[in-house]
Amino acid sequence: MIEVSDLSVTCANVRRDIIKMLYSAGSGHPGGSLSSVELLVSLYLNHMKFDPKNTKDPDRDYFILSKGHVCPVLYAILSQLGCFNYNELSTLRKVGSRLQGHPAKDRELPGIEVSTGSLGYGLSIGAGIALGMKKMNKNNKIYVLMGDGEQQEGSVWEAVMSAAHYKLNNLCAIVDDNGLQIDGATKSVMNVEPLTHKYEAFGWSTIVIDGHNLKEIDRAYLKFRIEKEKPTAIIAKTVKGKGVSFMENIIEWHGKIPSKELTKKALAEIAKNCIIKQIEIKEKRKIK
C-alpha cells in the first residue's frame, strides 16, 4: 500500500488537473470534483482491485460514479494511473472527446463501467452487479460514489432496501457529504439527515469519516472489506471545493468555472500545498 503522505501529493496533483481541465473546457463542476479527491485517490491507489492495463479483467472490482457530473476527478485519476494519455485531459467536454461532461460508456474510455449522470441510479446499478457477483460466487467488490443531494432521490432508497435484503456485503456506498447541492444547502433544499440512522434502519453497516483524512478513509475501506453480512455505507464529511480557498463551502462553485486570474490563483494554492506536503514527507523520513 502507498503511504498516506505520498497519497496526499497525488491528491494535490489530481486537484491541479481538475482545475486545468475545467478551465480548458469552459464548463463543468469544480465543487464536487474537489470534495471527492481523497476518497477516490485512496480507493484507486490502495484498495480497489483495478489493473490499468487490463480494465476488463473479470476479477476486477467495480467503481460507479453515480454523481457523474464530477467526472473530472475520475478522469484525472485514471489518467495518472495510465489508462489513457495525460494530454487527453485537455479534451474534456469537447466535441468528439472520450471525456464527456458525464461518464459515457459508449466512448470506450478505459475504466468507465457505466454511463452516469442522471442522479439516483448508480446505487441500483451497483446493487445489481453485486447481486450478480454473489450468484456467481465471485469476490468482486463494487463501490458507488454518490452525492448527499442525491440521497433525495427515491430510487436510492429502493436500492438501499434491496441491497440489505440480499445481504450484499460486497457493495460499498460512498456518500460525498459536503452539505451543498446546486440549489443551496442540502438541509434547506430537502433535508436527508440523519443519513447514518437511515442506512442503519435499512440494515446497512455505516461508517462516518472525515472525507479528507486519508487515514480515516483507509480504515473505512478496510472495514468494508471484512464485512460479512451487510452492505456498507461510508458517510464522508467533506468540504465542497476543498483545496482552493475561494471555492471552499461556496455554493456558486458547484458548476462555475474560474476566470483566468482565479485559475492561476487556484493552481498556485494547490502547488504551494503540494510543496509543503513534499517537505513534510522529507522531514518525517529524515527523523525515521
- Average pLDDT over the chain reads 95
Confidence of residue 228 (pLDDT cuts 50, 70, 90): very high
Residue 25 has pLDDT above 90, yes or no: yes
Tally of domains within the chain? 1
Query: What global pTM score does this model have?
Result: 0.95
* Under 8 Å between Cβ of 52 and 79: no
CATH number at residue 187: 3.40.50.970
Q: Which of 131, 123, 136 is nearest to 166 (CA)?
A: 131
Rounded Cα gap, residues 98 and 107, in angstroms: 5
Q: What are 259-283's pLDDT values in tens digits?
A: 999 999 999 999 988 776 666 666 5
- Burial grade of 197 (CB within 10 A; 0-12, 13-18, 19 or more): exposed
> What pLDDT is recorded for position 6?
85
Gyration radius of the chain over CA positions: 18
Q: What is the distance between the terminal CA atoms of the chain, rounded to a whole angstrom?
A: 19
Task: For residue 214, give its domain range.
Answer: 4-287
> What pLDDT is recorded for position 277?
67
> What pLDDT is recorded for position 287?
54
Q: What are 235-262's pLDDT values in tens digits?
A: 999 999 999 999 999 999 999 999 999 9
- Burial grade of 7 (CB within 10 A; 0-12, 13-18, 19 or more): buried
Grid coordinates given for 11: 491528491
Q: What are 62-88's pLDDT values in tens digits?
A: 999 999 999 999 999 999 999 999 999
> What pLDDT is recorded for position 4?
77
> What pLDDT is recorded for position 75?
98
> What pLDDT is recorded for position 284?
62
> What pLDDT is recorded for position 285?
58
Q: Please give the average per-residue pLDDT across 177-202, as a whole number.
A: 96
Residue 147 has φ and ψ, to the nearest 5°, of: -95, 165
> What pLDDT is recorded for position 273?
80
> What pLDDT is recorded for position 5?
78
